[in-house]
Structure 1
Amino acid sequence: MTQLAEQTTTAAADTLEAADVAVLPTGSTEQHGPALPLGMDHMAAQAFARTAAEEKNAADDDVSAVVLPTIPVGVSVHHRQFDGTLYVSEETFEQYVTETLSSLAEHGLRKAVVVNGHGGNGGALRRTARRLRDEETAFAPPWNWWDAVDDLADDLFDEVGGHADAMESSLLWHVREELVVPDELEAAEAGASEGWGETVHGAPIGFDTIDFTETGAVGRPSQAAPEKGEKLFETGCDRLCALIDWLAERSLEDCWSREHR
């Protein structure tokens, strides 16, 4: 069993002592157009985290990972005009993740990978990672699944994308098929923008998603297919496992900030 929340405190003591790396899924609960559920981002992060940890714990390489409870609400204020979107401020999200990982460190596990499913969380997670490292509390680099598979996505899709696009739609179609509405992919694309944001003479003016997309989608979701999602998921899991291995082998001393020379 690799999920901390499903264990008793007695079992958790042994799990945390044996674990090399914790995996913390983070995401959002926000609009993803008419074809995808609100929980797309945190569901994707959770699927990557759980599958990668299971693969590591089943492998014969002495690297153990434990999955922390998913943080399902993130920095999504820019989606607020669409029904169902929940959000917290960057400051709240950053503090919550920081304190969660700090509490884990009190139990002796000071290495973690934050498996992130939502781009809006990026700034807060980088600040969290830097703060925890500077204080030598924990080393917790954020891992965005779409960055890990961008080369494969370029081969699979003809889109700039960015939100509820073919890449996200394909991934969730594979991970949670029952939650995708394939008949709405064309409608999502009909009101979508080609890329993220809007600028006028070099100045960004698309502060909210509704400023540049009618459906909430960005990209070409009609190109989605579950087979493509399977390729994305397998590749992402392989690369997340490799990151867990790298972190497990790295000493804490090598994780901390270097002194000025």
Structure 2
Amino acid sequence: MSLLAEHTTTTAADAIERAEVAVLPTGSTEQHGPALALGMDHLAAEAFARTAVDRDDTVVLPTIPVGVSEHHRQFDGTLYVTAETFERYVEETISSLAAHGVRKAVVVNGHGGNSDALRRAARTLRDEETAFAPPWNWWDSVADVADDLFDEEGGHADAMESSLLWHLREDLVDPDALEDAEAGASEAWGESVHGAALGFDTIDFSESGAVGRPTQADPEKGARLFDAGRDQLHALLDWLVDRPLEDCWPSDHK
């Protein structure tokens, strides 16, 4: 068992001593249109992260379920914190584990709005030689698979996300609402006028809160996405386990 929160302080000492890499799931609790549960992003991140529980060389940390989601605030149920708060929380969480000796981590991220803050946190941790903690966005790891499965640009509560959650938690997807989600969706994320990026909030360009073509969703496609993402995550963990810590720091610190 490598779920840190389920250890006692006594057994945690053994798990941490064996661990080379920590896995920190991060996501959001925010609108995902009428068909998907608010917890889509953090549930996806947690599911990927928990595939590492049987590895002796990793320890899986508790999920951070609220992220940088202010751009969804007009939709009911959305929770959010500032980018600065989220960045600092992630940084300090990883720093606290580094104090126990685990100084390499993968941040398994389920929400695109967290990405900039996670990169900044990772840079700070690395520059200070506290920890090496690259963010891993699950959707980036399965882009080729998604291109084969779906005809959409997508971006939010789309066929890809809907399929994944349908595979992971069938009870949290309303298939009958996928048509309504698509009817009020935009084709792609955001809005541009003469080269200027507009659409600062999701409501500016999506009536339903969705982006893409969620009616293409299918749980079997979700299983293919999950398997592909899991394999990519474990390949990253293997690489990081084998990488000496001194090779993780900026070259000017060697």
Identify the TM-score tier after normalising by the shorter chain.
Answer: over 0.9
Percent identity of paired positions between Structure 1 and Structure 2: 76
After superposition, the Cα gap between the structure-2 partners of 1:2 and 1:260, relative to the gap in structure 1 and judged at 3 Å, is closer
Aligned-pair RMSD on alpha carbons?
1.1
User: Where does residue 187 of structure 1 map in the other structure?
Assistant: 180
Equivalent residue runs for 1:107-256 within 5 Å: 107-256=100-249
Indicate if the aligned counterparts of 2:53 and 2:60 stay in contact, CA closer than 8 A. no
User: Where does residue 86 of structure 2 map in the other structure?
Assistant: 93
Secondary structure (helix, strand or coil) at the match of 1:243 reads helix
Deviation per residue, 1:215-257 (Å, 9 max, x gap): 0000000000000000000000000000000000000100000
In structure 1, what residue type is equivalent to 2:133? A
Give the TM-score of the pair, scaled to structure 2.
0.99
In structure 2, what residue type is equivalent to 1:205? L
Secondary structure (helix, strand or coil) at the match of 2:251 reads coil
Deviation per residue, 1:31-64 (Å, 9 max, x gap): 000000000000000000001x035x2xxxxx61
User: Where does residue 4 of structure 1 map in the other structure?
Assistant: 4
Task: Give the Å deviation of 1:2.
Answer: 1.4
Secondary structure (helix, strand or coil) at the match of 2:53 reads helix
Aligned-partner Cα distance in 2 for 1:22–1:174 = 26
Aligned-partner Cα distance in 2 for 1:218–1:196 = 6
Give the TM-score of the pair, scaled to structure 1.
0.96
In structure 2, what residue type is equivalent to 1:137? T
Ranges of 4+ aligned residues in structure 1 off by more than 3 Å:
none
In structure 2, what residue type is equivalent to 1:77? E
User: Where does residue 30 of structure 2 map in the other structure?
Assistant: 30
In structure 2, what residue type is equivalent to 1:14? D
Aligned-partner Cα distance in 1 for 2:31–2:132 = 32
User: Where does residue 60 of structure 1 map in the other structure?
Assistant: none
User: Where does residue 258 of structure 1 map in the other structure?
Assistant: 251
**Structure 2 gap ranges (5+):** none
User: Where does residue 16 of structure 2 map in the other structure?
Assistant: 16
